Structure 1
Amino acid sequence: MKIAIISVTENAKNLGLEIQEKLSKDPTVIKCDCFYKNVKENFNYAFNNYDGIIAIMASGITVRTVAPLIKSKDKDPAILNIDEKGEYVVSLLSGHLGGGNDLTRKIARLIRAKPVISTSTDVNYKYGVDTIASRYYYRINNVKSILPFNKAVLNNIPFTIKSEKDISFLKKYFLGCKFEQLPGKVYSDNDLENKVNLGQIQFSFESDGQEFTLEMDERKLVVGIGSRRGKTMQNVMIAVENALENLNIPISRVNSFATISIKKDEEGIINACKHYNRPLEIIDIDDVRNFTSDDCSRSEFVQKKFGIDGVCEQCAMIAAGEGGKLIHKKIAMDGVTVAVAVSK
């Protein structure tokens, strides 16, 4: 997540810097920048370039400034408001699809503040379908279909959830609902380099003789891997599972792994992909060399040895496709590097 912190007073500025310092240690925060004063100009810039905005100022200033910028719940960034003493963190906009409510809880924990969340599902300790879409990187085909399903959640109306892939990780969110596993695709060893299956989840229920449906498509989620020579499957798996734990994403949600062509024969990477039954995409070294993104870090060691800036972040973003974004920065564990990207 890319986060902008905007403040207008000296105390707020200092609180913003404190939050920025704490978030710098979080590998799921790709970028965090602080902006001081020039509220209208900074909001205009941040609204179009960041996933979340933390406004440390009076809520009236935030509301009046952001109001002309609002487009729709599936496009607007998350907007949080914090008082300059850091006592309350308020989720103002895009609490579900934009991840604002989850970010509110995270920031509140970091600065020991009280989170203020007003969405009906959350205050009733339930989960909206749009919250699940945000947490697990699904795209809802028809945003207007969210409302009847969240009402069903609030009114304890069970619905049917169908998928050809393993979505057992969702059962804890929708207690009492019926899950149906549809026939899925199984990879053979010969498929593992070129088959990527993007699944869909179908939700449905009936009420007063009317049938409601909602479909979520998987956004392609890719784990990029770099490895020193001779690293084992266990080495790779430990790094992969550490990153996925940081994201709170199960391995069943991963669509593919990606590595660079000069590492295509590394047994540790190959065997880890076979163990997880996920395809391994091989990214040509020239494609990595020609790829540029401000979100990717640069390794002097890799640049000196191979003439490229890095491996795992670049491979993950290339495999995710045009418009894809990094959702977990590079981590290095015992000679293995891992990063995670998701498609647009």
Structure 2
Amino acid sequence: MIGIFAVDAELRKAAVDLGARLGPETVIGDGPIGQALQRLWGRLGAVVLFMPTGAAVRVIAPLLGSAETTPAIVCVNEFVVVLAGGSSGGGNALADRIAEVLDRTAVPSVGHDTTGDTALERVVAGLEASVDGDLAGCAAALLEGEPIRLLNPLELPLGPLPDNLGPTQVARWTVQIDDRVGDQGVGEVLRVVPRTLVVGLGASRGVSGDEVSSALSKLEWDFGLDLRAVRAFASIDLKAEERGVLQAIDDWSFWHGDGGAGEAPPRLLTYPAATLAQVPVPNPSDVVLAETGTPSVAEAAALHAATLLAGGQRVELVVPKIKGENVTVAAARIRP
């Protein structure tokens, strides 16, 4: 059976049309893609995902196992890309068939079929990371024994790694694990963006979504943080229903949340003033204290939420309070 899943209503129409062309052995997934895949995974011989390739990798990563239990996986966007089961699982043949129906170009899998059981794919899944680059291609090179250069400036714990994945100086592939925006480097680069950041928000009553979004963008443009690394947003409980704040978080999810690939977006965590007032911060404000009952909202909320999420790991304030129009923003990082 072929399961076809689409990231939004428009692509679902294309998925339904494709299913009709592929025949009666197809099923169109309903609801959040991650949940639908979990329900159907054991019954599927092939999976077709209408979504960006990076989003597809993230949504299937927790489900991948051995080659014997993993269906062929094909991602449809501008191209028809085989992510797993290319030769052994029939993915290449299915991609050719879909490409012919949709008048697109098939990108087959070559060499080893990677099924999420390489060290590299386990790292991505364990970090709940976003990915830029050809994860399947890099994983295949790893399996072939090719040296892979690893850059891990945050020194995140990655578990056991094969000998050919490390800080070598000469390699065709580079794997860069960082929550900061990085250059593309030389050769083939796979950027892995872990969810290490908690963003604190303070806002005036009636703040607009655009004002909050503009302040959030400063984290990237002025401080070099990759906004896909945001694990949660945090604020004072007075802002739990602030429309502009909630709108900005929805906008963040659209632009940086992998296109709604079934992943839960970062939550807005809120805390009472008495709790935030106990958090030491570098930039307390008497004005904020008078208005809210705590000398800090953005910095204190970011640090407090990160500490709770860290499970004993270190937490650091990487962006102290920055001011926008009617809003303040700060960012904390969870460290190993």
Asked if these proteins are the same fold (TM beyond 0.5), I'd say: no
Short-chain TM bin: 0.3 to 0.5
